[in-house]
């Protein structure tokens, strides 16, 4: 998959301030506030930055965390994971494989996204049917 590269200025021009903060600067929206937390409609969740399919609604479940959670990515090449040592803990960051948008960070007790649930904030992805 070919990477999409844009400057911060280019990303700011196409994203809302909240989308930019979460997807490009790794901010976190408050738990239980995202528009997809309670959504149970079928479809594909796509990266808000580039439209890459990142999660399928069939893999969505209620983790009680306050953020949409998924048991697997939409496809093996949909997301990438990176070690994240921010906030005084070791986590796994999940990003869009096409544009490196931040999708979520898994807590230390969670395993790889391919085998255990991952959560994702609603401001860094959109849902399509």
CA-to-CA separations, 3 to 13, 33, 56, in angstroms, rounded: 19, 30, 21
Q: Which 3 state secondary structure label does DSSP give 7?
A: coil
For domain 8-128, the CATH architecture is Beta Complex (2.170)
Going from N- to C-terminal start, the domains of the chain cover 8-128
pLDDT 10s digits, 27-59: 988 899 988 889 989 999 999 999 999 999 999
Whether 54 contacts 47, CB under 8 Å: yes
pLDDT 10s digits, 70-112: 889 999 899 999 877 666 677 788 999 999 999 987 765 544 4
Q: Is the pLDDT score of 12 beyond 70?
A: yes
User: What whole-number distance in Å separates Cα of residue 54 and Cα of residue 72?
Assistant: 9
């Amino acid at each position: 998959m070919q990477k999409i590269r844009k400057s911060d200025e280019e990303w700011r021009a196409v994203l809302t301030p909240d989308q930019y903060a979460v997807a490009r600067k790794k901010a976190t929206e408050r738990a239980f506030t995202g528009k997809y937390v309670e959504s149970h409609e079928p479809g594909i969740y796509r990266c808000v930055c580039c439209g890459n399919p990142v999660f399928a609604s069939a893999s969505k479940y209620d983790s009680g965390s306050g953020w949409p959670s998924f048991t697997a990515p939409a496809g093996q090449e949909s997301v990438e994971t990176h070690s994240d040592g921010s906030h005084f803990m070791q986590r796994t960051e999940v990003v869009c494989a096409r544009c490196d948008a931040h999708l979520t960070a898994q807590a230390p007790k969670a395993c790889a996204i391919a085998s255990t649930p991952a959560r994702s904030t609603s401001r860094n992805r959109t849902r399509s049917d």
